[in-house]
Copies of this chain bind each other. A is one copy, B any other.
């Protein structure tokens, strides 16, 4: 079933049918009705490839996952993609999901661009000095980045890590903590600085005592640090990642110490373990990334975006509330 068939059935030319499909105003209402009825009756759908070819536009956006990067706890992909899809759903856009190697992945992006398959990218797994950024900037191709790096010469969307650090300390303060241990991530990643900076802001503003140790975001590092310091000294612990909080959690169980504990990221396990954490709405990240990209594709002005985070309060701090 193609446009020609519909035209024949309706006794009009293909041009008129096309006009109806594309909502051109210059079609007589009765003609439009008649054609729509036939289209409906035969469940006609225009050929996607013919349409894209002729219109010289793709309604695809691309997301490339890194090959072989299966982390044990990925709770990110589903809500993120759902958010993206939710936006696309309402705007006649589609998503091509593809994969590429971490190294040498650029050629894959180039292929998708040169074959005119996609009209924009959402970039994930950003690196410092990311060759993808350099390339996309150089040809002025629309894209939005999830996260930031030091160069930061692009449009990005990122949860407000700074605010997250702030809220964590504030929450501990509110349940009565005065001497807090902050287990930071390792120096290097931008998130480390962002979260730390929020933590420091809260410290100064609220006047709590703060000690800082540096882990590396991993469970093991959390455990190690918890073991090496005297936890008794503190009346609250804030970790820059849930994984580190799990390490601390395990150590506390072992040693019988009980202190208020907060993590960061709000992984699903935190809900099950009852650990308070800083929650980022990943669905919103996806949704807004798609929205921003859509605007960029339409040549509209777009500003980078920080998404608010919030504290998911659970057992691990709740039971210490005064």
Asked if A268 meets B72 with Cβ closer than 8 Å, knowing A86-B67, A98-B85, A98-B95, the reply is yes
Nearest B residue to A266, CB-CB: B72
Q: Which one of B70, B82, B114 lies within 8 Å of A43 (CB-CB)?
A: B114
How distant is the Cα of A27 from the Cα of B106 in the complex, in angstroms? 31
Nearest B residue to A52, CB-CB: B49
Question: A194 contacts the other chain (Cβ, under 8 Å)?
Answer: no
Beta-carbon contacts under 8 Å, A44-66 to B: 44-50, 52-53, 58, 60, 65
Beta-carbon contacts under 8 Å, A234-251 to B: 246
Specify how many copies of this chain sit in the oligomer: 2
Question: A141 contacts the other chain (Cβ, under 8 Å)?
Answer: no
Report chain B residues within 8 Å CB of A38: none
Interface string of A21-58 (1 = CB under 8 A from B): 00000000000000000000001111111101100001
Interface string of A206-225 (1 = CB under 8 A from B): 00000000000001000000
Interface residues of A (CB under 8 A from B): 1, 43-50, 52-53, 58, 60, 65, 67-79, 81-82, 85-86, 88-89, 94-99, 110-111, 114-117, 219, 246, 267-269, 271-273, 283
